[in-house]
Structure formats: structure tokens, C-alpha cells
Amino acid sequence: MQIFPKATVLSLVYGFASVWTAFGHGTEAQLPFARPHAHEPLEGHAHLGWESRYFSEGRDSLDGDSLFVGSFEMGWNHLAGGVWYGYSPEQRYDELQLNLALKQSIGALEFYGGYTYLWYPYDGSHGHEIGAGVAWSGLPMDVDLSADLYHSFDANGYFVVISAGREFSITDRLALNFSVPFGINQGYVADGHDGANNIALRVGLEFALTDSISITAHTTYSWASGRDAAFSGDDRLIDFFHGGVGLEWSF
């Protein structure tokens, strides 16, 4: 049983301070891995970072405590996989995620489906999830739209993240991006209310030190929606601000 449902699925996104990754760009303030994109050559991506709070399913999952994170991802042709680990220095909490995804591109549309295994070493619990998503690029004003759904077998519920985003190239080395993710719970947070959970505004920066190494930073503000005091799972569904920094290596 998951103490703090983190969901990932191979929606493979967000997390920590990633802005653009080897699998492609666009990272929502909700999911720890980069969404897998279809590429012919073998590509990889590694990330080390720090998050001021653990933002998961619109909730401040560690009640204000921070999280150190690390990930390693590989992608080739229609296959992607990775490992993600998070550790809080302020309480007994850590989390390991292993995932595998299949992906396909059709014009400006990209699809994926995948499986994620979650393990919580401190208490020995674990979980299993499947997920799917679609991303649409090439829209007017270079806006990207995406939708990610992940289903927990343990909670027998799902969570949906719908997001719109855009990137701006400030210089050859500096990129700025904005995204607005919207989260919907349907039994994934089993003791939380169903329906609209939150909407957030995320601003990210990436500065390329070299062709393969970048420094990233982000800030996110999340507004809770439909919070119901009758549900214990909504206790940490609040309006809150958080941020993070990271170092990324793509190869």
C-alpha cells in the first residue's frame, strides 16, 4: 500500500526540475519522468536534483519537507525505460520507481503506454501502475498540449493530468518554458475526493553548460480544487508554492 501515492507511470514526466530531456521536451509539474518520444537512435538522460516539496497528485505529499531526486532514462526507437529515486532528508521516506514504455509518433501526435513498479524501502510496501498518454505539438503559437492517465492497481483508481505549455529560446544556451497542468482524481487517491483536484502554473529555466550538460530550475504554484475536509486524503490538497534545481546530462 502506498503511503504517498506518487504515480508516474510512464507518463514519464516532470518531476524534479527537468525542462527538456533526451526523450523530448515538455515536463509537467506532476510526473517524475520525461514523456518518452519516438527516436531512431539510442538516447539517454540522467538527472540529479532537489525539490523544496514533493508535489504529487496536486498534494504536498511530504507536508512541507523537501526531496532529493535522481533518475536515469534510456530511449531507442519505440522503447523507453528508466529508474527514478527520491529521498527526503527530513523524514523517513524514500521511493524507487522502475518503468518501461512503448511509444509511437504520427505526425504532430505522440502516444505512449507503459508500466511502473513502485517500491518504498523504509516500510517495505510496493505498488503497480499502468499509464498512457498523448502529446500534440505544432499548434498555433507553438503551444503543446498533452494528456496523461495513470491507473493504480492497489487503489483501483486513476489520475489524469491535462497540460498546455510553451517554450521560449532566450539565447542559444538559455530556454524558458511555461506549463499549466490540470489534475483530475478518480479513485487514485483513494481517500481523496473525486473530480478536479488542482491546477498549477509552472515556470522553468534551462541553461546549457555544454552540448550535453545543463542546469535547470523551476518554480510552481498549485491551486487546490474541490478540497473536501470529509476526506482525509484531501488534508494535503492545499494551495502551495514550491521550486527545485537540478543538473542534467543527455547523451
Report pLDDT digits (tens) over 93-122: 999 999 999 999 999 999 999 999 999 999
The total domain count for the chain is 1
Residues of the domain holding 63:
9-250
- The widest CA-to-CA distance across the chain, in whole angstroms, is 51
Percent of the chain with pLDDT over 70: 84
Kindly state whether residue 111 falls inside one of the protein's structural domains: yes
Q: Which helix (H) or strand (E) holds 249?
A: strand 240-250
With respect to residue 2, please indicate whether it lies within any of the assigned structural domains.
Answer: no
**pLDDT at residue 32 tops 70:** no
Backbone angles phi, psi at 75, to 5 degrees: -140, 140
Q: Does residue 1 fall inside a structural domain?
A: no
| CA–CA distance, 38 with 104 (Å, rounded to integer) | 6
160-199: pLDDT as tens digits: 999 999 999 999 999 999 999 999 999 999 999 999 999 9
Is 142 a member of any domain?
A: yes
Cβ partners under 8 Å of residue 248, min gap 6: 18, 21, 45, 46, 47, 206, 213, 214, 215, 216
**In the beta sheet, which residues pair with residue 113?**
102, 132
Any domain includes 31? yes
Residue 52 included in any domain: yes
Q: Are 159 and 140 in contact (CB under 8 A)?
A: no
**pLDDT at residue 148 greater than cutoff 70:** yes
pTM of the model as a whole: 0.84
